[in-house]
Amino acid sequence: MDRIILHIDMDAYFASVEQSCNPSLKGKPVIVCGEIAEGRKYARTIVIAASYESKRTGIKTGMPIPEARKLCPSVIIAQCNHDKYISTSLEIHKILLEYTDLVEVFSIDECFMDITRTLKFFNGTVMDLGRQIKSRIYERFGITSTVGIGPNKIIAKLLSKSNKPDGLMQILPEQAADFFSNLRIDKMQGIGIGNRLSGKLNSMGINTATRLGESPLDLLTSCFGITGYRLKQIGQGIDHSPVKKYLEIETVKSVGHSHTLPENTMDTDIIKSYILMLSEKTGARLRQHNFLGKTVSFVIRYSDFSTYMQQHGLKHCIKTGYEIYSNALTVFNRFLPLSKPVRLIGVAVSSLVPDNKQQYLFEIMSKWNTVTSVIDGINQKYGEFTIKPASVLAAEKLFFPDIDIKIKKVL
């Protein structure tokens, strides 16, 4: 029996959520970016997401904010709010789960659904079901979505990607060959073929999905190794992978944050302040999801984009920002003295285990844990970093240079 797979993809998701939350932004060019540094004129900040009104002016994801402003001086900038996007995504999942438990989350704004069995009990066609899902999402959240319907995940995803925005399209198994014959390789991103790979395939004269499927397997494996087998199947529209059940959540392997500095620097006090800020964010996320970790990783990227990562293993588990900071600092010290300016740093914790809320043996640690819990509660209620270490102000000075902060020793 042929499967019926839906791929639901939110349109310009982050920007659409911002427009939905603030109706005055509807129909206007909106871009979402990371931490806002108005005083620095957004020199190092990039576009994370853009509304379709912005995209029509030429603005693209990954573009620096100054460049986006040149293309569209009236563009409205919204600061990224992951909590808001995750919350909306989880509510969308609830709608999808009313139809089937075979809902596989592919990303924050994409899901696969296997509705093969569901359709037997649905009063209508699969296209009717797709329209109903799109309508319910729009009525509830005010954002549009595109739905692709096919016999497997590859075809369903390609259909949604090629019919944006607010699209709905189905392809039956017998129609797949015609669809693939006109599908360019550079339009197959998101299913394992990125810009570099599509460029390489085009240089080999493989410029459509059909040409890829017809290419000799020996040629593909000699050029791309084991990936050649997968490319051959993609070109033939073959995908037997099942849609996982929603509750089959993959185990989280690490939690972390990275940040591109507003400007390259060799000032170790500033870098340490950022390490502390990232450590506090990582610790907050660990505690939010009830994890402890035993390995701290530190990433450093220099001005020439050379990137290095080292880890530090621990004998005991940690979860507070200060513990993470102390160990991240141990790794950072291995890179001193700095040979060139630093562009980006990152902190992560891995070797995760569930936090069973075990009591601390020493009273001072028990009190520190209580203080941390209180701070978490306040920050969750009033916003991230409502309460924060004073040392983080050194990092914030780079974002708000008008603030008179005297930077001394960081911790």
Sign of the CA dihedral 186, 192, 196, 202?
Answer: negative
Residue at a domain's end among 119, 149, 170: 170
Q: What is the pLDDT of residues 120-139, one digit of tens each?
A: 888 899 999 999 999 999 99
Percent residues over pLDDT 90 in the chain: 42
188/161 same-domain check: no
2, 128: one domain: yes
pLDDT, mean of residues 17-29: 93
Give yes or no: residues 303 and 266 share one domain: yes
- Which long-range contacts does 223-228 make (Cβ < 8 Å, 24+ apart)? 224/197, 227/192
pLDDT beyond 90 at 57: yes
What angle separates helix 268-288 from helix 321-332, to the nearest 10 degrees?
140
Residue 44 has pLDDT above 50, yes or no: yes
Do 155 and 179 reside in the same domain of the chain?
no
Span 331-339, average pLDDT? 93
Please check the confidence at residue 335 and state whether its pLDDT lies above 60: yes
Question: What angle is formed at CA 119 by the lines to CA 113 and CA 120, rounded to 5 degrees?
Answer: 140
Find the CATH number of the domain harbouring 379. Answer: 3.30.1490.100
Instruction: Assign 38 a pLDDT band (cuts: 50, 70, 90).
Output: very low
- In this prediction, residue 409 has a pLDDT band, given cuts at 50, 70 and 90, of very low
Classify residue 410: in a domain, yes or no. Answer: no
pLDDT at 357 over 50: yes
Confidence at 236, pLDDT banded by 50, 70, 90: confident
The tens digit of pLDDT for each residue in 364-404 reads 445 555 555 555 455 555 554 445 555 555 555 554 333 33
| Same domain? 163 vs 180 | no
63-68: average pLDDT: 88
Q: Is the pLDDT of residue 110 over 80?
A: yes
Instruction: List all residues 6 or more positions away from 130 whose beta carbon is below 8 Å from its beta carbon.
Output: 6, 147, 149, 168, 170
Q: Which of 18, 53, 104, 110 is catalytic?
A: 110
CATH number at residue 23: 3.30.70.270
> 169-184: b or e for each residue (b if 16 or more CB lie within 10 Å)?
bbbeeeebeebbeebe
Examine residue 372 and state whether it is found in any structural domain, yes or no. yes
Tell me what the mean pLDDT of segment 289-304 comes to. 90
Q: What pLDDT does 315 receive? A: 85
**Is the residue at 404 inside a domain?**
no
Active site residue 248: no
pTM, two decimals, is 0.68
In a domain, 249, yes or no: no
Same domain, 220 and 331: no
The CATH number linked to 194 is 1.10.150.20
Q: Which residue has the higher pLDDT, 207 or 387?
A: 207
69 and 28 within one domain: yes
Domain closes at, from 122, 144, 170: 170
Q: What is the pLDDT of residue 275?
A: 92
The whole domain housing 185 covers: 172-240
Q: Are residues 354 and 265 in the same domain?
A: yes
Higher pLDDT, 113 or 177: 113
pLDDT of residue 136: 97
Stretch among 98-107, 213-222, 355-364 having the lowest mean pLDDT: 355-364
**Stretch 288-305: mean pLDDT:** 89
- Residues 38 and 156 grouped into a single domain: yes
Q: Are residues 204 and 346 in the same domain?
A: no
CB contact at 8 A, 34 and 80: yes
205, 240, 275 - which closes a domain: 240
Residue 34: its pLDDT value, please?
73
**Is residue 32 in a domain?**
yes
Poorest-pLDDT segment among 43-47, 272-276, 310-314, 367-371: 367-371
Structure tokens at 52: 């379709």
Look at the chain and report how many structural domains it folds into: 3
pLDDT at 411 (0 to 100): 30
Asked whether the predicted pLDDT for residue 54 surpasses 80, the reply is yes
Residue 309 and residue 193 in one domain: no
- Residue 142 in domain: yes
| Cβ-based neighbour number of residue 216 at 10 Å | 10
Per-residue confidence (pLDDT) for residue 178, from 0 to 100 = 85
The answer to whether position 406 is within a domain reads no
Confidence of residue 300 (pLDDT cuts 50, 70, 90): very high
**pLDDT band at 289, cuts 50/70/90?**
confident
299 within a domain of the structure (yes/no) = yes
Arithmetic mean of pLDDT over the chain: 83
Name which of 382, 317, 374 is nearest 351 in CA terms: 317
Asked if 220 and 290 sit in the same domain, the reply is no
What pLDDT score does 170 carry? 94
